[in-house]
Amino acid sequence: MLITRFIRAPRQGTMAMLVRRMSPAARKELEGKRFDAIGLVQTDLPSLFYFADIGQKAGDVIAAEITGNCPQHISTIAFFGNTAAVSAALAAVQKAQSDK
């Protein structure tokens, strides 16, 4: 299972919701920065780590795990960056999924 979403020009409220679900270290990495786009990837945990690596290699993005309570062990990663970099990261993730 792979679900991706692309958010252009995220609003402060959207950023606040995501930041609340991040580790303190991830929050600190994003602190004081502004992003043109956010790419969200939801998948199982082993794939999450794989796709995080693929996405970061494809574009100049910051990757952060978004935590929550999901009984199916499904996790989400967010890629933060400019529009082109986030688009490249999501495209690489989708290609890696289709190449499986």
* Separation CA 80–CA 7 (nearest Å): 10
Closest by alpha carbon to 58, among 85, 98, 94?
85
Asked whether the predicted pLDDT for residue 83 surpasses 80, the reply is: yes
User: 56-72 pLDDT, tens per residue?
Assistant: 999 999 999 998 766 56
**Token pair belonging to 40:** 């969200």
For residue 100, what pLDDT is reported? 72
For residue 69, what pLDDT is reported? 64
User: 13-43 pLDDT, tens per residue?
Assistant: 999 999 999 999 999 999 999 999 999 999 9
For residue 72, what pLDDT is reported? 63
> Average model confidence (pLDDT) for the chain?
92
- Is 22 in contact with 65 (CB distance < 8 Å)? yes
Q: Which helix (H) or strand (E) holds 53?
A: helix 45-58
In the chain, what are the domains?
3-98 (3.30.70.1710)
